[in-house]
């Protein structure tokens, strides 16, 4: 492993600033956008002994998983929208990470393009890129995540304070992890309910997805997942003490729980001839994998500039869609730990939409 040099790290910061500048200048000359749904990236399963890897369906605070909704949206006649999110992540613990040292410093970029083809329906194309500062010799640290095609439908006829949205995703296996899995695609369906009243807002999102893979095992012998489900519960409050500012501050918290079902890599059964090289003779099938996470965040909605809508978020989190979430299995037993060293972090995100 190697750490990028000071000059290299400076270049990374410069590139991040340039990306923000490009987003700002590209979107600064038009106005308005329509109201739509939240988003979701590709999701990887939680491993038996550590954090899950890859992105997942986000909450309001997990901005790269929710870029099209992270800033408050105005209702206009413009049927399309483009935007992105830049994130910078840092783990609190910088040593004794047991194989997760490459997550010490991570930068993340999410870009999307959206088209509202009716008042209640929209499609969106999403791409993700992340960079780890600690990499193997010869690697750049840059890797793609899965590309996502997203459809969402908002239901009408509800009270003004309530909202319900259903969505469906399909992925293209552009990430390194998906290639190790021999993933063909990962369809996902989900539903989200939301409530807004005055300065208070809350939402509950539930989804399930299946993994269509070419093989039962990924490279290295670990079993591939076949189903993953999760929920996100988010609550936020717009601070009245700062209402004199031109744009509001919001504080909030999110919790999430995930479950992943794995394929029987050895073909099933407990007879020695059926076990293969990775199956466990104690169980007829693979045990269910679990992970969890949460975050507390503060968000400031930046002033609108010529149609560019943006916000800045800072969060203290245990896991997130970029680094994955904390496994509830440790040494074969289920535990729940706060501030787990492999996933406890602070991150900042700048979201921009036009």
Q: Is residue 92 scored above 80 in pLDDT?
A: no
Q: Is residue 303 scored above 70 in pLDDT?
A: yes
Which of 43-47, 159-163, 267-271, 323-327 holds the top average pLDDT? 159-163
Question: Residue 330: its pLDDT value, please?
Answer: 62
Q: Between 46 and 226, where is the model more confident?
A: 226
> What stretches of 263-308 adopt beta strand conformation (E)?
289-301
Q: CB count, 10 Å around CB of 190?
A: 23
Q: What is the 3-state secondary structure (H, E, C) of 26-45?
A: HHCCCCCCCCCCCCECCCCC
Q: Is residue 113 scored above 90 in pLDDT?
A: yes
Cβ-contact 4, 12 below 8 angstroms? yes
pLDDT tens-digit map of 144-199: 899 999 999 999 889 989 999 999 999 999 998 899 999 999 999 999 999 999 88
- Out of 63-67, 92-96, 110-114, 115-119, pick the least confident: 63-67
Share of the chain above pLDDT 90, in %: 40
Residues 6+ apart with CB under 8 A from 73: 33, 34, 35, 36, 309, 353
Question: Residue 78: its pLDDT value, please?
Answer: 83
Q: Is residue 211 scored above 90 in pLDDT?
A: yes
Q: Is residue 28 scored above 80 in pLDDT?
A: no
What pTM value is reported for the model?
Answer: 0.74
- Out of 111-120, 147-156, 317-326, 331-340, pick the least confident: 331-340
Q: Between 337 and 228, where is the model more confident?
A: 228
- Alpha-carbon distance 68 to 40, whole Å? 10
Q: Which residue has the tokens 């500062």?
A: 133
Q: CB count, 10 Å around CB of 300?
A: 15
Q: Between 110 and 72, where is the model more confident?
A: 110
- Alpha-carbon distance 11 to 14, whole Å? 5
- 33, HSE (Cβ side, Cα atoms, 13 Å): 27
- The β-bridge partners of 168 are 151, 189
Question: Residue 40: its pLDDT value, please?
Answer: 31
- The β-bridge partners of 305 are 308
Kindly report the backbone phi and psi dihedral angles of residue 20, in degrees, each rounded to the nearest multiple of 5, phi listed first: -60, -45
Return the H-helix or E-strand segment holding 49.
Answer: none
**Can you list the domains of the chain with their CATH numbers?**
2-353 (2.40.160.40)
Cβ-contact 5, 17 below 8 angstroms? no
Task: pLDDT band for 257, please (50, 70, 90 cuts).
Answer: very high
Q: Is residue 307 scored above 60 in pLDDT?
A: yes
Task: pLDDT band for 324, please (50, 70, 90 cuts).
Answer: confident
pLDDT tens-digit map of 146-161: 999 999 999 988 998 9
Measured CA to CA in angstroms, residue 130 lies from 86, 176, 225 at distances of 10, 11, 23
Long-range interactions of 101-105: CB distance < 8 A, separation 24+: 101/1, 101/134, 102/1, 102/132, 102/134, 102/135, 103/51, 103/132, 103/323, 103/342, 103/343, 104/133, 104/134, 105/132, 105/133, 105/134
- Alpha-carbon distance 103 to 133, whole Å? 8
20 closest CA partner among 102, 98, 86: 86
């Amino acid at each position: 492993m190697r750490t990028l040099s000071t000059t290299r790290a400076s270049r990374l910061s410069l590139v991040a600033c340039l990306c923000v500048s490009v987003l700002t200048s590209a979107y600064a000359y038009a106005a308005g956008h329509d109201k739509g749904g939240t988003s979701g990236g590709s999701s990887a399963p939680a491993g038996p002994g550590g954090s899950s890897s890859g992105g997942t369906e986000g909450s309001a605070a997990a901005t790269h998983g929710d870029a099209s909704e992270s800033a408050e949206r105005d209702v206009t006649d413009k049927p399309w929208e483009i935007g992105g999110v830049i994130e910078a992540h840092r783990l609190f613990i910088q040593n004794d990470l047991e194989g997760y040292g490459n997550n010490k410093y991570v930068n993340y970029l999410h870009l999307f393009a959206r088209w509202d083809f009716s008042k209640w329906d929209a499609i969106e194309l999403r791409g993700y890129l992340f960079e780890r500062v600690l990499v193997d010799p010869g690697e750049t640290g840059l890797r793609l995540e899965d590309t996502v095609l997203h459809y969402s439908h908002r239901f009408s006829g509800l009270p003004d304070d309530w909202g319900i949205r259903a969505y469906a995703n399909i992925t293209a296996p552009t990430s390194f992890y998906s290639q190790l899995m021999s993933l063909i695609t990962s369809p996902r369906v989900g539903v989200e309910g939301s409530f807004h009243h005055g300065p208070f807002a809350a939402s509950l999102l539930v989804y399930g997805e299946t993994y269509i893979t070419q093989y039962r095992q990924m490279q290295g012998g670990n079993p591939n997942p076949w189903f993953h489900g999760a929920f996100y519960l988010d609550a936020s409050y717009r601070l009245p003490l700062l209402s004199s500012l031109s744009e509001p501050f919001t504080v909030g918290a999110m919790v999430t729980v995930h479950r992943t079902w794995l394929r029987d890599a050895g073909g099933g059964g407990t007879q020695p001839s059926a076990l293969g090289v990775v199956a466990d003779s104690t169980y007829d099938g693979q045990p269910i994998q679990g992970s969890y996470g949460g975050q507390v965040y503060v968000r400031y909605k930046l002033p609108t500039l010529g149609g560019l809508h943006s916000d800045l978020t800072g969060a203290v989190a245990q896991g997130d869609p970029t680094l994955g979430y904390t496994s509830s299995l440790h040494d074969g037993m289920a535990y729940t730990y706060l501030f787990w060293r492999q996933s406890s972090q602070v991150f900042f995100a700048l979201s921009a939409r036009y």
